[in-house]
Amino acid sequence: MTSHEPLTGPAGATGSGTSSSGAAGSADPLVEVTDLTVDFGEVRAVDRLSFTLEPGGALGVVGESGSGKSAAAYALLGLHRGTGARVGGSVLVAGTDVNAADERGLRALRGARAAMVFQDPLSSLDPYYPVGDQIAEVYRVHRPVNRRAARARAVEVLDRVGIPDAARRSRLRPHEFSGGMRQRALIAMALACEPRLLVADEPTTALDVTVQAQILDLLHDLRHETGMGLLLVTHDVGVAAESVDDVLVMRRGAEVERGPVARVLGAPREPYTKELLAAVPRLEVRRTASVSAVEGAPLVPAVEDAAPLIEAVDLRRAFGRGSGRVAAVDGVSLTVRAGETLGIVGESGSGKTTLGRMLVRLLDPTSGRLRYRGREIGALPERELRPFRRELQMVFQDPVASLNPRRSVGESVADPLRAAGERDEGRIRDRVGALLERVGLEPAHFERYPHEFSGGQRQRVGIARALAAEPKLIVCDEPVSALDVTTQAQVVALLAELQRELGIGLVFIAHDLAVVRQVSDRVAVMRRGVLVEQGEADAVYEDPRDPYTRQLLAAVPALDPGLAAARRAARRELARA
């Protein structure tokens, strides 16, 4: 089988999928959920939710973090069984009464008739076994075949999901796959037994924009080739627009609005749906428009004539030795001025994070020059670099990993103050309280620990810690990539407000091109360690010069299903070119 040949559907035929609002020739829904409730202790995660999905249909379940969408999806495969959660109501999937089924019935359902693709492929794949062996094992659980036939099936489905040289790569372990390839491998595992239903829980959240587009295109093609149904859980409304026929909007465990994707996204009826859509960054919206949309926000002052705050000249960083030596950043030159935001975009592995860490001297450049306010700092030893440490700060992608779980957030925010010599505990507490309040938290949160905060709140703590040092430059490395759209919008607005008030220079590293346009004065596009294009944000977005930049822009999800289809066609044309 080549990667272009269709897989046989569950009924032994191929063909286009049908809408979740109705499927010709099918008497019974593929999924029928009635008054579903899921309780974790005293917390009701899903509250009397009802919906149906017809064979071949695609339903997107969208909402903020904590809306109950994943809890509802897990109930379709009985994954709450044995966790202590209380599940009520009725869940029928491919003829199985999930809540009433015994363990044997659930095993027969999972994998064979319904399969799930989880958000984090690393936690779903065994790190000790080759990927092909894991897929083959799943296949043998549900099909009476020998090991050789199961291995052949594993290679077949890996090939179908676009894994190049599938026979060889099937012998590799998960850590030898990229993030996008691991997600493809999970989809291949789900497809092995030709399920009638695929449940995908945030399958593209951790992926860059081009890999995300590839996965969404793959799901679209597979659904239309095999006739399987798709239930897609996502906080990214644009992802839903790319992939489904109908949308179910959830909030606090309950349905807010449901209907055809074009109607719900194009003419939402409920205030919450309108708020959710208003928070989604648009690729076509210029920064001045998005900044002005923040209530009471003045326009960002022009900084073109200001002296550079940070200046990189032919900056390079290599890793490894001998023939294995790789240049992660290769000859990059750029400047950032006070009060200006430089957005840096590119795929995973493009060198964005390595560059950002060099700009604040968390990594030493291999060669090139780095000047801060006219002073050469690229080769300064740590002792001479200390006076600059406070003024060069970084906000990291994962606030959980960058905050000590054994210390209160107040103590973490206070670290830069103590490092600067402050010893008066009263003044430290007052300053930390003011910083927490400044980023939208409360002074009383000083004594709380990181696990007591949501993802958006933890990111605010990270920003408060960076501000404690009174920096002149902050490098933000994917600061909103794991946040839902409303929390993302709040953090972006906070950064813009702080920049206006304090005149801070910002470097905003992200793979989400729509967010980058919303916040950036200028944009630099990286690929394989090199800047392929940089310039004023509007010029780069409206008239990209480099083919790679055009490829990135074509991969951005669109809220309009018609535009999404056009972009899918454009991606195919670019792939053929």
Between 185-189, 210-214, 443-447, 488-492, the lowest mean confidence (pLDDT) is in 210-214
Write the pLDDT tens digit of every residue in 151-187: 999 998 898 888 888 899 899 998 888 777 888 888 8
Start-to-end C-alpha separation, the chain: 24
Which residue has 């705050």 as its token pair? 309
Strands 96-97 and 308-319: unpaired
CA distance 427 to 188: 57
So what's the pLDDT on residue 10? 35
So what's the pLDDT on residue 59? 95
Predicted confidence band of residue 58 (pLDDT cuts 50, 70, 90):
very high
Which residue has 């210029």 as its token pair? 286
CA distance 222 to 6: 8
So what's the pLDDT on residue 491? 82
Per the CB < 8 A criterion, the answer to whether 343 and 514 are in contact is no
Nearest CA-CA partner of 338 in 474, 438, 244: 474
Q: Which of 17-31, 334-348, 396-410, 452-466 has the highest mean pLDDT?
A: 334-348
Overall average pLDDT of the 264-271 stretch: 92
CA distance 60 to 229: 11
So what's the pLDDT on residue 226? 83
Write the pLDDT tens digit of every residue in 360-417: 999 999 999 999 998 999 888 888 888 888 899 888 877 667 788 888 999 999 988 8
pTM of the model: 0.76
So what's the pLDDT on residue 577? 62
So what's the pLDDT on residue 12? 34
Which residue has 């595992």 as its token pair? 189
User: What's the gap between Cα 561 and its chain centre?
Assistant: 20
Q: Where is 343: in which H helix or E strand?
A: strand 341-345
So what's the pLDDT on residue 453? 79
Structure tokens at 267: 């003419």
Give percent helix, percent strand, percent coil of the chain, each to the nearest 5: 40, 20, 35
Write the pLDDT tens digit of every residue in 283-313: 887 765 444 444 444 444 445 556 889 999 9
> Rounded to 5 degrees, what are φ and ψ at 234?
-160, 150
So what's the pLDDT on residue 23? 41
The more confidently predicted of residues 298 and 224 is 224
Nearest CA-CA partner of 393 in 422, 438, 361: 361
CA distance 31 to 195: 13
CA distance 359 to 364: 9
What are the CA-CA distances from residue 107 to residues 131, 153, 245 (Å)? 21, 20, 29
> Rounded to 5 degrees, what are φ and ψ at 491?
-70, -40
Overall average pLDDT of the 330-339 stretch: 94
Q: Is 24 helix (H, G, I), strand (E, B) or coil?
A: coil
Say which residues have a Cβ less than 8 Å from residue 45's Cβ, sequence separation at least 6. Answer: 38, 39, 68, 71, 85, 253
The more confidently predicted of residues 210 and 333 is 333
What are the CA-CA distances from residue 165 to residues 2, 150, 345 (Å)? 11, 18, 29
Please give the full DSSP string across 261-295, using - where no structure is assigned: HHHHHHS--SHHHHHHHHTS--TT--HHHHHHHST
Query: Mapped to the 3 state alphabet, what secondary structure does 91-146 carry?
Result: EEECCEECCCCCHHHHHHHECCCEEEECCCHHHHCCCCCCHHHHHHHHHHHHCCCC
**Domains, the chain, with CATH or none:** 28-113+198-280 (3.40.50.300), 121-194 (no CATH), 287-391+471-555 (3.40.50.300), 404-465 (no CATH)
> Over 60: is that where the pLDDT of 4 sits?
no
Between 142-156, 449-463, 527-541, the lowest mean confidence (pLDDT) is in 449-463
So what's the pLDDT on residue 39? 93
- The mean of the pLDDT values for the chain is 84
Q: How many Å is the Cα radius of gyration of the chain? A: 25
What are the CA-CA distances from residue 294 to residues 87, 131, 272, 276, 313 (Å)? 42, 47, 18, 16, 35
Write the pLDDT tens digit of every residue in 542-552: 999 999 998 88
> Over 70: is that where the pLDDT of 423 sits?
yes
Q: What share of the chain in percent tops pLDDT 70? A: 89
DSSP state of 174: G
